A and B are shown apart, each in its own frame.
Chain A
Amino acid sequence: MTKKRKLVVIGNGMAGARVVEEVLSRGGADQFEITMFGDEPYGNYNRILLSDVLNGSHDAADIFLNPLAWYADNGIKLHAGVRVSKIERQARQVVGEGGVVESYDQLVIATGSVPFIPPMDGLRLADGREKPGIFVFRNLDDCRRITDYAMGKKSAAVIGGGLLGLEAARGLQNFALTVHVIQRGNFLMSQQLDSPASSILRKTLEQLGIVVHVGKDTKRIAGTDAVSGLEFADGGRLDCDLVVIAAGIKANSELAARAGLTVERGIMVDNRLCTLDDPRVFAVGECVQHRGQVYGLVAPIWEQAKILAEQLTGADPNAAYHGSKVSTKLKVMGVEVASMGIIEPTEEGDELVQFTEPKKGTYKKLIIRNGRLVGSILLGDIKKAPYLTQAFEKNTPVPDERLSMLFDIGAPSDATTIETMPAEMQVCNCNGVTKGKVVACVKAGRRTPKSVMEATRAGMGCGACKALVNDVVAWACGGATEEDPAADYYVPGVPLSKPELVRAIKERGLYSVSAVFRELSGGVEDPGSKPGLASLLNAIWADEYVDERDARFINDRVHANIQKDGTFSVIPQMPGGVTTPAQLRRIADVAEKYRVPMVKLTGGQRIDLLGIERDDLPKVWRDLGMPSGYAYAKRYRTCKSCVGAEFCRFGLGDSTGLAQEVERRFQGLESPGKLKLATAGCPRNCSEALVKDVGAVAIEGGRWEIYVGGAAGAHVRKGDLLCTVTTHAEVLRMAGRFLEYYRENARYLERTYGFVARVGIDKIRAVVVDDSEGIGERLDAAMDRSVAAYKDPWLEALAPVTPNQFRASLPVVQ
């Protein structure tokens, strides 16, 4: 066994401890003997929650991330309460106060930051001792000292109206005293907020009893034996019994500077988080300056910790830190605030989108540059923060409909935020997964939404909660979710996006699912990816597609919908919901002959025979003598219609006739998601055509409006008007062109409501109606080809295509 290297970490705060956690999770315990130094005599705690400790809503014991036992359990030698007095780089050793010496092979400096004290008089008594009643707000001991001193006092002043100052003010509110916030500049939280947002925040704080003083530069802290007040540069004065200085932080880099390491505003590091002067010495966290930036928030620091652990353990020697885009989300005295990027437009052409509702304390602002979000402020209502943060951090294009970035239009209001959501609340209503279970799964080490979903099955039912699960995972990770590279893949098992995959399939002439795995994923078959690939290949090759039945979901192998007990449902085609007495008689005969347990009308205007045994399927189809209604596949399903002009006294168009034409054209059409269509004979919309994948609505004047991207299932969305046409043939052509465009560009299982919202109706209309890309004829031809490849799958009753296709079980003769 090779000898373990010695890893010494100076600093046991959020950065230092995180580095060690990350090192351990990469098997670092086998490589390193780990030693840590911490100023404070404790394990490691969540500094973000200090104001909760100060205001009494958390006990100090609750905010520990790793208690002392954790260090022992992981074989880490912790010098708790031992300050490091020097680093001797030549000797490769660290000397602690009291004479402790530890030598290192690799050293990590994670000394964090110290409070910044603005220059002012009166900080000390005449004899040079510290003046009682002056505090900083940085650690657990500060909290205890403030708590002890504040008892029985009348008023407190916080110097600093930034994030830290307001956190301190929030904590002080717990002690029955008047809290003043003193801000030198003209508005609060000037790093994160602009002036309108800041004044809304100020009003809310004042309603909560905080006295806010802006434009006040503190010159002197008054009081001979203890604090008695503040004196300002403008000559003003404020009486108070204690002062908390929370005017910001600065990197704690003095130790590093004394060791001869290059320090500017922080310890200078390269992309490997290595110091510029010594390849054995690394630095991480608030004490670091990387590409001119010093970070004081947790997300960038966790990112750094991960990169550093990759470096130290050699798990990924190429890991590099490229800086972080900083976004904050916090609650200041009950006011929710989110802020990211720039706070004012800075370049010509920057687009500003703003909404204010002062009465409710709501403010929303977006700054968009070249179609990307470069800055945002949300106050009061921050429901869109997770989405905006992602758009900002990933630099993704934003939707044309800017309004949708500020509000969830048409969606039910979300009364709770992730933070306030109780742990026992169900996040996934299909599989009964609670917030607590998702959080526990993240704590157990799964840090991508996909891996959490796989482990808990959250989001694996109807899928409507996926966005919420993503948010809970992101929250539980504290913003340090891991990128899931598979997020952009068409299917998880083949590492290509849809356009790349389509190109590879066409270029290499891959006609079957097994050929795709063989050529594009090194022969590794991912079962969950098979149906998606089958769907895509079918759409690309139509009649040339080599159909391997094992790639299909069971429903598509036996052309019926599997039920909870392993029986199947049979739904024959019934175009436009129109049937005949003879057909009904036949269905009744079949239901009696096969003792069908339930006969039910479906939502798609058809008749469902439920509880059919697998062995009976071919016989049932044969006796029905009707084609498959495809009510089991990711394909065209049905076209609902109202009565229409033939009988209805309001009817303007022949909706029933059109629905039948639609069904005859698109029957069985392969698609990324199921397709449910409708036609309506007048704008009363009895057939609900506005909430269908494609809906045609007759209007006065012999015309049809075509709506696309509607939904009324797990997700509700009103379709967008694509165009208005005059003939049935035009409805079929426009619907077909839209569907082909959707088939070629949607992700697998992405329904039209998601696709239309993602791409935008303007773009779709340009391509489909105005033929802006000149692909209209090609789309029409591709659709014609797929339509021509239609076969009624129930004909397989007469000639099964795989051995024992319709056998529930095979008897064994012993």
Chain B
Amino acid sequence: MEVTLGPLHAIPEGEGRTFQVGTERIAVFRSRQGGVFATQATCPHRGGPLADGLLGGTTLICPLHSLKFDLTSGRSSNGECSLRTYPTHLTRTGQIVVELGE
């Protein structure tokens, strides 16, 4: 299922924002290199709000206990847990589209 989240400029460069899609929440990130990534909204470790994390390249650090994740694979650097990730793309008018599962 493809969902249009809104304009890219809703997210500042290098940051993330949480989107509420029906009953589901997803975190969407916009890197300074132009990447757009979508993952589950909370950290599998202790539920930290991932959109509030620090982002650099494709690496995200959770704001609560500093777990590190790769946003392309969803894997944590210590291998203990991983994030659900969703494919994204931008429309010609700069709208963020995310492909949620069924």
State whether A810 touches B55 (Cβ < 8 A): no
| Pair A528/B61 contact, Cβ less than 8 Å | yes
Q: Mark B44-83, 1 if CB is under 8 A from A, else 0.
A: 0011110011111101110111111000000001110000
Q: Size of chain B's interface in residues, with CB distance under 8 A?
A: 44
Complexed CA–CA distance, A548 and B12 (Å): 10
**Max count, chain B CB within 10 A of own CB: residue among A431, A455, A525, A553:** A525
Known: A530-B54, A802-B12. A809 touches B48 (CB 8 A): no
Between B3, B63, B68, the greatest number of chain A beta carbons within 10 A of the residue's beta carbon is seen for: B63
From B22, B48, B57, B65, A525 is in contact (CB under 8 Å) with: B57
Q: How far apart sit A526 and B32, CA to CA, in the bound complex (Å)?
A: 12
Instruction: Say how far B34's CB is from chain A's closest CB, in angstroms.
Output: 12
- Which residues of B from 1 to 59 have beta carbons under 8 Å from A? 3-6, 9-15, 17-22, 25, 31-33, 41, 46-49, 52-57, 59
Q: Which residue of B lies closest to A455 (CB)?
A: B78
Query: A562 to B48, alpha carbons, bound, how many Å?
Result: 10
Whole-angstrom distance from the CB of A523 to the nearest CB of chain B? 8
What residues on A are CB-neighbors of B9 within 8 Å? 803
Question: Does residue A551 face the partner (Cβ distance < 8 Å to B)?
Answer: yes
Q: How far is the CA of A425 from the CA of B56 in the complex (A)?
A: 36
Complex: how many Å from CA A553 to CA B100? 29
A-B contact count (CB 8 A): 112
Residue of B4, B17, B21, B56 touching A804 (CB-CB under 8 A): B17
Q: How many Å from the CB of B44 to the closest CB on chain A?
A: 14
B18 proximity list for chain A (CB < 8 A) = 808-810
Q: Which residue of B lies closest to A566 (CB)?
A: B49
Identify the closest chain B residue to A552 (Cβ). Answer: B54
Q: Specify which chain B residues have a CB less than 8 angstroms from the CB of A557 in the assembled complex.
A: 15, 52
Minimum CB–CB distance for B18 against chain A, Å: 4
* A553 partner residues in chain B, CB cutoff 8 A: 54, 63
- For residue A39, CB closer than 8 A to chain B, the reply is no
Closest chain-A Cβ to B57's Cβ sits at a distance in Å of 5
Return A432 CB to nearest CB of chain B, in Å.
12
In angstroms, Cα B49 to Cα A549, docked, is 17
Known A-B contacts A802-B12, A812-B6; A807 and B17 likewise in contact (beta carbons under 8 Å): yes
Chain A residues whose CB sits within 8 angstroms of the CB of B78 once the complex forms: 454-457
Residues of A within 8 A of B5 (CB): 810, 812
Q: How far is the CB of B56 from chain A (nearest CB, A)?
A: 3
Chain A residues positioned under 8 Å from B67 (CB to CB): 457
Q: Are the C-beta atoms of A527 and B61 separated by less than 8 Å?
A: yes
CB closest residue in chain A, given B14: A550
Q: How far is the CA of A807 from the CA of B31 in the complex (A)?
A: 19
CB-CB under 8 A from A809, the residues of chain B are 17-20, 25, 41
Known contacts A457-B78, A530-B56, A808-B18; A550/B13 CB under 8 A: yes
Residue contact A812 to B3, C-beta cutoff 8 Å: yes
B interface footprint on A789-814 (CB within 8 Å = 1, 0 otherwise): 00000000000001110011111101
Closest CB of chain A to B68's CB: distance in Å? 7
Are A812 and B61 touching (Cβ within 8 A)? no
Contacts of A811 in B (CB 8 A): 19-20
> A554 within 8 Å of B by Cβ?
yes
- A562–B64 touching, CB < 8 Å: yes
Residues of chain A contacted by B54 (CB below 8 angstroms): 527-528, 530-531, 550, 553
| In contact, A564 and B64 (Cβ under 8 angstroms) | yes
Min Cβ gap A486→B in Å is: 15
Contact A562 B52 (CB under 8 A): yes
- Interface positions of A from 481 to 510, Cβ below 8 Å from B: 493
Return the contact of A566 from the options B14, B19, B48 (Cβ within 8 A).
B48
Query: Cβ of A814 and Cβ of B61 under 8 Å apart?
Result: no
Q: Is the CB of B52 within 8 A of A812?
A: no
Nearest-neighbour CB distance to chain B for A446, whole angstroms, equals 10
Check if A812 sits within 8 Å of B20, measured CB to CB: yes
Minimum C-beta distance from A520 to chain B (A): 14
Nearest chain A residue, comparing its CB with the CB of B46 = A564
Any B CB within 8 A of the CB of A176: no
| Residues from chain A with Cβ under 8 Å of B32 in the complex | 514, 525, 550
- Asked whether, in the complex, the Cβ of B19 is within 8 Å of the Cβ of A454, the reply is no
Taking CB as reference atom, which chain A residue is nearest B63? A554
Residues of B within 8 A of A549 (CB): 12, 14-15
A551 CA / B6 CA spacing, docked (Å): 24
Q: Which residues of A contact B52 (CB under 8 A)?
A: 554, 557, 562, 566
Assess whether A524 is interfacial by the CB under 8 Å rule.
yes
B77 CB contacts on chain A under 8 angstroms: 454-455
State A455–B68 Cα separation when bound (angstroms). 10
Say how far B20's CB is from chain A's closest CB, in angstroms: 5
A332 contacts the other chain (CB 8 A): no
CA distance A514 to B13 in the complex (A): 11
Chain B residues lying within 8 Å of A554, measured Cβ to Cβ, are 52-53, 63
How far is it, in angstroms, between the C-alpha of A553 and the C-alpha of B54 when the chains are bound? Answer: 7
Question: When chains A and B are docked, how far (Å) is the Cα of A514 from the Cα of B68?
Answer: 20
Nearest neighbor of B59 in chain A, beta-carbon distance: A527
If A454-B77, A550-B14, A812-B21 touch, whether A524 touches B66 (CB-CB below 8 Å) is no
Q: Are A551 and B14 in contact (CB under 8 A)?
A: yes
Give the complex CA separation of A531 and B61 in angstroms.
12
Chain B residues with Cβ under 8 A from A565's Cβ? 47
Chain B CB within 8 A of A68 CB: no
A460 near B61 (CB under 8 angstroms)?
Answer: no
> How many angstroms from the CA of A457 to the CA of B9 in the assembled complex?
35
B62 CB to closest chain A CB (Å) equals 10
State A528–B12 Cα separation when bound (angstroms): 18
Among A460, A550, A802, A804, residue most surrounded by chain B Cβ atoms (within 10 Å): A550
Q: How far is the CB of B66 from chain A (nearest CB, A)?
A: 6
In the complex, chain B residues whose CB is within 8 Å of the CB of A431: 65
A295 to chain B, nearest CB (A): 36
User: CA–CA, A526 to B41, complex, Å?
Assistant: 22
- Considering the complex, give the chain A residue whose CB is closest to the CB of B4: A812
Measured between beta carbons, the chain B residues less than 8 angstroms from A810 are 5-6, 10, 17-20
In the bound complex, CA of A76 to CA of B20 (Å):
57
Least CB distance from A459 to B in Å reads 11
- Taken together as a complex, chains A and B put the C-alpha atoms of A457 and B45 apart, in Å, by 12
Chain A residues 542-572 with CB under 8 Å of chain B are 548-551, 553-554, 557, 562, 564-566
State A530–B67 Cα separation when bound (angstroms). 16
Measured between beta carbons, the chain A residues less than 8 angstroms from B33 are 525
A457 to B65 CA separation, bound complex (whole angstroms): 9
Min Cβ gap B2→A in Å is 10
Contacts of A551 in B (CB 8 A): 14
Closest to B67 in A: A457
Output the least CB separation between A812 and chain B (Å).
5
Q: Which residues of B contact A550 (CB under 8 A)?
A: 12-15, 32, 54-55
CA distance A548 to B32 in the complex (A): 11
How far, in whole Å, are A460 and B21 apart by their CA atoms in the complex? 34
A441 closest partner in B (C-beta): B78
What are the residues of chain A within 8 A of B55 when measuring CB–CB?
Answer: 527, 550
Selected A-B contacts with CB under 8 Å, 16 pairs: A455-B78, A457-B67, A460-B65, A460-B66, A525-B32, A528-B56, A530-B54, A548-B13, A550-B14, A550-B54, A553-B54, A557-B15, A566-B47, A566-B48, A804-B17, A812-B19
Known: A431-B65, A550-B32, A810-B10. 8 other contacts (CB 8 A): A457-B66, A525-B56, A550-B12, A554-B53, A807-B17, A809-B20, A809-B41, A812-B6
Task: List residues of B whose CB falls within 8 A of some A CB.
Answer: 3-6, 9-15, 17-22, 25, 31-33, 41, 46-49, 52-57, 59-61, 63-68, 77-79
